[in-house]
Amino acid sequence: MAENRKVVEPHGCIVCGKVYNMLVVYSPEGNLVNCTPTDSGGHRVPDQDRPLVACDRHGESQIEAALAKHYPGRAAEEEEE
Ligand SMILES: [Zn+2]
């Protein structure tokens, strides 16, 4: 049985663009399973499709606004669940 694939990828903070190294886990099918920033000062932003990160210093409303700006279709996608 195939195993999940773990890779470290650089991802920019969704609000300010600061780059964090992320440990990202993909399923054998290539779907996002989990992700965690390996650098301190940032945290994962929950998203079912992509590894997203934001600095701890950004408020929730800032993160939501940035998400809406970068991924306008995101809210609609979530309704499919
Ligand atoms: Zn930031």
Query: How far apart are the CA of 3 and the centre of ligand 1, in A?
Result: 32
Task: Give Cβ neighbours of residue 54 (< 8 Å, ≥ 6 apart).
Answer: 13, 14, 15, 42, 43, 45, 63, 66
What are the C-alpha distances in Å from 10 to residues 34, 53, 77, 79? Answer: 15, 10, 25, 29
pLDDT of the chain, 81 residues: tens digit per residue = 789 999 999 999 999 999 999 999 999 999 999 999 999 999 999 888 899 999 999 999 999 999 999 988 765 555 544
Residues having C-beta closer than 5 Å to ion ligand 1: 13, 15-16, 18, 55
pLDDT number for residue 53: 97
CA-based end-to-end distance of the chain: 27
Domain span including residue 20: 5-78
Total of domains in the chain? 1
Cα 17 to ligand 1 centre (Å)? 6
Long-range contacts of 20-23 (CB under 8 A, 24+ apart): 20/53, 22/51, 22/53
